[in-house]
Amino acid sequence: MNRADFYSYLRRRDVPLFGTSLSKKQVVAIDALLDAGEGLPLDHMAHVLAEIHHETGGGMYPVKETVFPHSKNQNPTDAEVIRRLDAAFAKGRLPWVKAPYWRDGWFGRGGIQVTHKNNYAKASAVSNVDLVSHPEKLLDPVVSAIVAVEGCRHGIFTGKRLSDFDGVQFDHYNARAIVNGDKKANGQKIAVNAGLFANALYSAGWGKKRPAQAQVVPDAVSGGINSQSLWTRLFAPLLGILRGK
């Protein structure tokens, strides 16, 4: 894959994903995702990128819950995150939350937000990193990327996995269920963005093998040219004509 071509496509004015520029922080995070997803089918990789684009508000890099690309403080303390979530919960701004899951520190972290202790344990299993003892490691772009890719591949977030949505065409709309059950609100947006990421990956050669180099087999025997050599087949007849044969 030619990553320069990939990023060039993402920066096109007619591709409404990032505008015409990407920060170094975004590139580092996307590179980690491409590394983690090497070998995935093109549509699977495109969907992972689209999910993370949505989950991070276009940032693409791992964050703590309540942090967005426009936030002045990109790394608030755990106590501050818990305070923010408590305040939002008290005001009824988290209607989908039945009981606060964040008060023991198991709030969302990563490119795809991992919440609840049992999900940190699942993320540990697919990344080979102890995220239960060290949840902050989900803020490392490499660890976050591995959890995102392997989590989508193996279905650790909701039980749904990438292969569940294969078909004649990959079902990006319904595949939102891999991360969240809000497809009616966000499935179409993610499907459109996945299409853009798919175009970028395709333009850069994702999944395409380099053509094999033609193998040159010497047509010589014991250092000499045999009777079936290229020289004999092409030039001997011409030489015979010149000699009048």
Question: Tens digits of per-residue pLDDT, 50-87?
Answer: 999 999 999 999 999 999 999 999 999 999 999 999 99
Flag whether pLDDT at 11 surpasses 90: yes
181 and 117 in a common domain = yes
224 and 119 in a common domain = no
Q: Residue 66: in which H helix or E strand, if any?
A: none
Average pLDDT over residues 182-202: 97
Domain membership flag for residue 238: yes
> Which of 30-44, 111-125, 204-218 bottoms out in mean pLDDT, i.e. has the lowest?
204-218
Within the chain, strands assigned E span 63-64, 109-110, 220-221, 224-225
pLDDT of residue 209: 57
Average pLDDT over residues 164-193: 97
Flag whether pLDDT at 97 surpasses 80: yes
* Close Cβ partners of 155 (under 8 Å, ≥ 6 residues apart): 161, 164, 178
Q: How far apart are the C-alpha atoms of 146 and 144, rounded to whole Å?
A: 6
Domain membership flag for residue 210: no
CA nearest to 6, candidates 208, 203, 209: 203
pLDDT of residue 134: 98
pLDDT of residue 208: 76
Q: How far apart are the C-alpha atoms of 124 and 138, rounded to whole Å?
A: 10
* Close Cβ partners of 68 (under 8 Å, ≥ 6 residues apart): 56, 57, 59
108 and 10 in a common domain = yes
Domain membership flag for residue 27: yes
229 and 187 in a common domain = no
- What DSSP line would sit under 150-207, residue for residue? HHHHHTTTTS--GGGG-SSS--TTGGGGGT-S-HHHHHHHHHHHHHHHHHHHHHTTTT
Q: What is the pTM of this model?
A: 0.84
Domain enclosing residue 224, as ranges: 220-245
116 and 43 in a common domain = yes
Query: How many domains does the chain fold into?
Result: 2
Domain membership flag for residue 212: no
> What average pLDDT does the structure give for the chain?
88
Q: Which two tokens stand for residue 233?
A: 């087949």
Count other C-beta atoms under 10 Å from residue 71's C-beta.
14
Average pLDDT over residues 198-203: 97
228 and 130 in a common domain = no
Confidence band, pLDDT 50/70/90 cuts, at residue 212: very low
What's 37's domain CATH number?
A: 1.10.530
